[in-house]
């Protein structure tokens, strides 16, 4: 027997620990034979009893689960014995078993009980598998048994067989008595588990009505527990914990199989008990605050804070809100709360929580601030105008008090929650209301200093400072809606915050290069762009001051980058990292034009800034062309800036912004929007971008982060200054002409086009950069006017005539499958541009499709060879790439004439390649059928 156990042990260990796939497969097959064996039950029991590795018990449990649902099944007597054995086994060995084994065995017991629930024993005239439901919690003599019992009963409660009303009532009574008697001697995790069981049991039975007593029997214990919390000194903590978990569980879908039932339960609980529970928590906190808080009370205070927080975060209106969308959360407390709690609207409640923050130790300050976040977010309609102003004054007073004693904010949780409180100041209240608060000026001075220090601190998370920047961004956005004479003080503090943000990002960049910070913020482009959306607005307040700082820092690092040797020194690498951030910030600054009041002076500044980025991009691309490695993050920054510029200055929705194009013509020779589009495809964020690209052309290594910054800035400039929807912004283009010789929008488009081509040529292996580059190309091709200017550019014609892997490596079959996804966007953009002048020119279309025709023939020739030496994976990639290419072409065939050309090309190709006809027909059938409506009714293509 020992040898048999040893063999099973080894198989279990091999299955879960072996790195050899063949060994794992063989072990799995051998263990599968165990489940099919007539002695399966006996061997699994032996494995549980004598197995020496944790995986043995896990395998035994999983095998028994399969046995229970197998066709052979297990007799009633065997199941009874197994049930008894499982409970004893868990009771004796729970403490020594890994959690995953305990969970698996609990699941086995629950499944065994469910499948045997209806079995009736004729000898004893009982349902033998129902008895453990009443007795399982009595296993208190064995350590951890209560936890096993609680988890098992939780699973049983939500099973389809369920538990009868009478049994649930008995279990509820037993649980409360058990906790009341033994709470002091039980470990905290057991108490928490049993409280959770009570909460789930109460929720699932909330709507049950007892016809005999004409009551809802599971609602009465809630009132009793509330009274116990206030009246009993020794059991108050237990009562608070029960209520906190009950409120929390009532607010979730756990255990309930439909949203409608959950809402019915939650709304009933809200109307019957939630207000009383919240009043209980605040009144108890007020009483404790009136005394000298000692160490013994802290656990109760922590429970009361959690209880009040659970009440305030309750889903009052059934919106199923998600905390991930934290920006505009409003606490929708019912109107009855205003009537019942006058202290709610006069600010006494929130004032009490600020006093608690001052009185409690640091470890509880985070939870206090979480409550304040919710209280700062009460819906506006709960207050009258005067009440709202008084309530806001209490919040401002409290926030000011926290900043005057900032010691507790050194803790990360407290800092984060306080930043959320600051954000709610503006999301829930208007600037004109804040200006009426007496302590507004003092608070703003403290908050500006606090923001500056927070931005410079390495240890504080970007997720926290996001809320601080959100406050300032909303404040600046509200300036047009207040009187010019109102002392909002934003013109005094916003330049300081902008400077602190810029300088801190550059310090972070240098610290990353030096290895002092392990995580580079630029690696998370989503977070970076979220923050940039805020900075875009903040920096536009006193824009001249912010621009002077950006220009000075940019010129300093550009000079270092321009004279850099290959390989770059540590100083050059730090400059590249700084230029990446500065390029991204310039893109954000351009983006801010669309949301802020503007002037010709601001357009001149935009032109000055973008000129520098375009020059850097040109330099970077020039170095790429020489074989030097690039910098992916810098390339992403280029694309970002190009996209922002495109949205503003290159679009069908806006007219040419003359002052911007004056600057582009003056500095870069970009005379019109067409020239700008060329820049987009070639990729320049003017001087720095020119310098960076120049080095790429010489073979110098590029910088990915800097490239990402180029793209970001170009995109922001495009949105504001390159568009069909806005007039030419002359002051911006004055600067572009002065510094780069870009005379108009057309010259700027030349920069865009060249940037795009450079990225496609030198960054084929960087999926994110390729994707953003092609997104930029796609955006440029969507506007009618911009697209017509674009298609006339020589660089675009070069692209339309040379879209092969020979010129652009990302089109080859060697690229990874993820990067191949971008090929659909690439061909959709090219086809959209081709269609502008295509008309009925079949030769032009066939010339454009010739590279795809050649690819199809090459693939078919490989298939025809049918030799084992063919690289199957490479052929597969080629087929996938071809399908994506043709799909992109089909997406842009928006007219019947053009789509007929594509269909005729495809049909002729299929006929000429008869052996491959069925394969390609299956690939393109879905797209073709979906577009037959583009043909005339009489067309043969629809038949």
Would 40 be classed as within a structural domain? no
- Predicted pLDDT of residue 686: 53
Helical residues (DSSP H) of 569-673, grouped into ranges? 570-591, 600-624, 632-648, 658-668
Q: Both 376 and 455 in a single domain? A: yes
Q: How confident is the model at residue 565 (pLDDT cuts 50, 70, 90)?
A: confident
pLDDT digits (tens, 9 = 90+) for 681-731: 455 345 456 656 666 666 666 677 777 777 777 777 777 766 655 555 566
Would 217 be classed as within a structural domain? yes
Average pLDDT over residues 753-761: 86
Tokens representing residue 231 in the block: 């009246």
Residues shown for the chain: 943
- Predicted pLDDT of residue 143: 44
Whole-angstrom Cα distance, residue 658 to residue 234?
Answer: 77
- Predicted pLDDT of residue 423: 92
Q: Is 529 helix (H, G, I), strand (E, B) or coil?
A: helix
Residue span of the structural domain in which 616 resides: 489-684
Give the least confident one: 399-408, 540-549, 578-587, 616-625. Answer: 616-625
Q: Both 513 and 608 in a single domain? A: yes
- For residue 567, say if its preceding peptide bond is cis, omega within 30 degrees of 0: yes
Q: Both 450 and 360 in a single domain? A: yes
Q: Both 524 and 671 in a single domain? A: yes
At residue 799, what are phi and psi to the nearest 5 degrees? -65, -40
Q: Both 436 and 505 in a single domain? A: no
Beta-carbon contacts of 324 under 8 Å, excluding residues fewer than 6 positions away, are none
Q: Both 585 and 552 in a single domain? A: yes
Q: Both 237 and 375 in a single domain? A: no
Q: Both 752 and 879 in a single domain? A: no
pLDDT digits (tens, 9 = 90+) for 310-360: 999 998 887 755 544 555 578 888 888 887 777 677 888 999 999 999 999
Q: How confident is the model at residue 15 (pLDDT cuts 50, 70, 90)?
A: confident
Closest CA relative to residue 615, chosen from 701, 569, 572, 679 = 679
Give the least confident one: 421-430, 646-655, 855-864, 888-897. Answer: 646-655
- Predicted pLDDT of residue 419: 94
Domain boundary among 619, 653, 684: 684
Q: How confident is the model at residue 442 (pLDDT cuts 50, 70, 90)?
A: very high
Q: What pTM did the predictor assign?
A: 0.73
How many CA atoms does the CB half-sphere of 524 hold within 13 Å?
A: 11
How many CA atoms does the CB half-sphere of 348 hold within 13 Å?
A: 11
Give the least confident one: 69-73, 269-273, 280-284, 656-660. Answer: 656-660
Domain boundary among 288, 320, 352: 320
Would 96 be classed as within a structural domain? no
Counted domains in the chain? 5
Q: Is 703 helix (H, G, I), strand (E, B) or coil?
A: strand
Under DSSP, the state recorded for 630 is: -
648 vs 260, residue with greater confidence: 260
Domain boundary among 746, 771, 793: 793
Say what percent of the chain tops pLDDT 90: 22
Would 574 be classed as within a structural domain? yes
Q: Both 502 and 649 in a single domain? A: yes
414 pLDDT more than 90: yes
Give the least confident one: 213-222, 600-609, 619-628, 746-755. Answer: 619-628
Would 108 be classed as within a structural domain? no
- Predicted pLDDT of residue 596: 65
- Predicted pLDDT of residue 743: 76
Would 13 be classed as within a structural domain? no
Would 229 be classed as within a structural domain? yes
Q: Both 213 and 270 in a single domain? A: yes
Q: Both 619 and 693 in a single domain? A: no
Q: Is 836 helix (H, G, I), strand (E, B) or coil?
A: coil
Average pLDDT over residues 596-607: 76
Q: Both 510 and 527 in a single domain? A: yes
Would 616 be classed as within a structural domain? yes
């Amino acid at each position: 027997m020992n040898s048999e156990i040893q063999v099973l042990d080894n198989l279990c260990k091999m299955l879960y620990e072996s790195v050899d796939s063949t060994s794992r497969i063989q072990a799995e097959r051998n263990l599968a034979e165990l489940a099919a064996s007539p002695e399966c039950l006996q061997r699994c029991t032996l494995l549980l009893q004598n197995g020496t590795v944790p995986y043995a018990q896990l395998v035994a449990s999983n095998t028994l689960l399969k046995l229970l649902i197998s066709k052979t099944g297990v007799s009633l007597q065997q199941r009874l014995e197994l049930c008894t054995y499982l409970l004893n086994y868990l009771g004796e060995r729970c403490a020594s078993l890994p959690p995953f084994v305990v969970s698996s065995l609990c699941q086995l017991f629950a499944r065994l009980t469910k499948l045997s629930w209806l079995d009736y024993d004729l000898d004893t005239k009982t349902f033998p598998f129902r008895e453990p439901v009443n007795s399982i919690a009595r296993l208190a003599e064995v350590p951890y048994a209560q936890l096993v019992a609680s988890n098992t009963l939780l699973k049983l409660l939500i099973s389809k067989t369920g538990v009868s009303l009478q049994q649930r009532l008995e279990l509820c009574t037993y649980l409360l008595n058990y906790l009341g008697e033994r709470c002091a001697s039980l470990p905290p995790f057991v108490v928490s588990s049993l409280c959770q069981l009570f909460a789930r049991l109460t929720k699932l039975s909330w709507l049950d009505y007892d016809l005999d007593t004409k009551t809802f029997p599971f609602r009465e214990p809630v009132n009793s527990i509330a009274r116990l919390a206030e009246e009993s000194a020794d059991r108050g903590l237990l009562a608070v914990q029960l209520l906190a978990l009950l409120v929390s569980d009532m607010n979730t879908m756990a255990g309930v199989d439909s949203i409608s039932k959950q809402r019915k339960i939650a709304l009933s609980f809200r109307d019957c008990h939630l207000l009383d529970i919240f009043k209980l928590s605040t009144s108890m906190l007020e009483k404790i605050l009136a005394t000298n808080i000692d160490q013994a009370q802290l656990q109760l205070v922590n429970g009361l804070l959690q209880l009040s927080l659970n009440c305030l975060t309750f889903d009052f209106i059934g919106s199923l809100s998600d905390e991930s969308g934290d920006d505009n959360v409003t606490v929708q407390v019912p109107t009855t709360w205003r009537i019942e709690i006058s202290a709610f609207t006069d600010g006494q409640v929130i004032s009490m929580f600020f006093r608690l923050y001052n009185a409690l130790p640091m470890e509880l300050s985070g939870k206090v601030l979480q409550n304040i976040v919710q209280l700062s977010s009460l819906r506006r309609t709960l207050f009258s105008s005067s009440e709202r102003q008084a309530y806001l004054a209490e919040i401002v007073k409290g926030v000011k008090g926290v900043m005057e004693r900032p010691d507790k904010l050194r803790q990360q949780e407290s800092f984060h929650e306080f930043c959320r409180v600051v954000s709610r100041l503006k999301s829930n209240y208007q600037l004109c209301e804040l200006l009426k608060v007496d302590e507004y000026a003092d608070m703003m001075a403290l908050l500006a200093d606090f923001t500056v220090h927070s931005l410079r601190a390495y240890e504080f998370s970007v997720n926290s400072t996001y809320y601080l920047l959100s406050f300032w961004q909303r404040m600046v956005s509200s300036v047009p809606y207040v009187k010019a004479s109102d002392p909002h003080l934003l013109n005094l503090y916003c330049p300081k915050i902008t400077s602190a943000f810029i300088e801190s990002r550059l310090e972070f960049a240098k610290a990353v290069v030096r290895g002092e910070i392990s995580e580079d913020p630029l690696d998370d482009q989503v977070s970076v762009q979220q923050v940039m959306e805020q900075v875009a607005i903040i920096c536009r307040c006193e824009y001249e001051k912010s621009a002077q700082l950006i220009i000075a820092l940019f010129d300093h690092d550009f000079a270092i980058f321009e004279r850099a040797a290959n390989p770059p020194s540590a100083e050059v690498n730090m400059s590249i990292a700084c230029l990446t951030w500065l390029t991204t910030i310039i893109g954000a600054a351009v983006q801010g034009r669309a949301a802020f009041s503007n002037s010709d002076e601001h357009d001149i500044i935009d032109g000055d800034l973008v000129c520098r980025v375009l020059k850097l991009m040109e330099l970077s691309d020039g170095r790429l062309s020489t074989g030097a490695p690039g910098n992916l993050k810098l390339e992403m920054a280029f694309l970002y800036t190009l996209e922002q510029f495109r949205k503003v200055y290159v679009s069908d929705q806006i007219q040419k912004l003359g002052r911007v194009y004056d600057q582009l013509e003056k500095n870069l020779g970009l005379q019109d929007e067409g020239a700008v589009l060329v820049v987009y495809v070639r990729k320049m964020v003017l001087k720095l971008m020119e310098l960076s690209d120049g080095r790429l052309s010489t073979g110098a290594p590029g910088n990915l982060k800097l490239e990402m910054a180029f793209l970001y800035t170009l995109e922001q400039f495009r949105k504001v200054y390159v568009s069909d929807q806005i007039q030419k912004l002359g002051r911006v283009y004055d600067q572009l002409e002065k510094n780069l010789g870009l005379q108009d929008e057309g010259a700027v488009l030349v920069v865009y086009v060249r940037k795009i081509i450079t990225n496609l040529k030198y960054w084929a292996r960087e999926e994110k950069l390729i994707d953003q580059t092609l997104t930029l190309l796609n955006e440029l091709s969507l506007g009618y006017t911009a697209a017509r200017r674009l298609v006339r550019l020589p660089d675009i014609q070069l692209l339309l005539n040379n879209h092969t892997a020979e010129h652009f490596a990302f089109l080859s079959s060697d690229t990874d499958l993820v990067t191949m996804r971008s090929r659909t966007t690439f061909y959709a953009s090219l086809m959209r541009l081709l269609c502008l002048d295509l008309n009925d020119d079949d030769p032009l279309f066939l010339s454009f499709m010739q590279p795809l025709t050649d690819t199809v023939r090459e693939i078919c020739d490989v298939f025809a060879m049918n030799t084992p030496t063919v690289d199957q994976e490479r052929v597969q990639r080629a087929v996938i790439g071809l399908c994506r290419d043709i799909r992109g072409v089909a997406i842009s065939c928006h007219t019947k004439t053009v789509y007929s050309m594509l269909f005729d090309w495809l049909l002729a190709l299929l006929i000429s390649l008869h052996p491959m006809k069925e394969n390609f027909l299956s690939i393109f059938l879905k797209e073709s059928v979906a577009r037959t409506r583009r043909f005339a009714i009489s067309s043969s293509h629809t038949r």
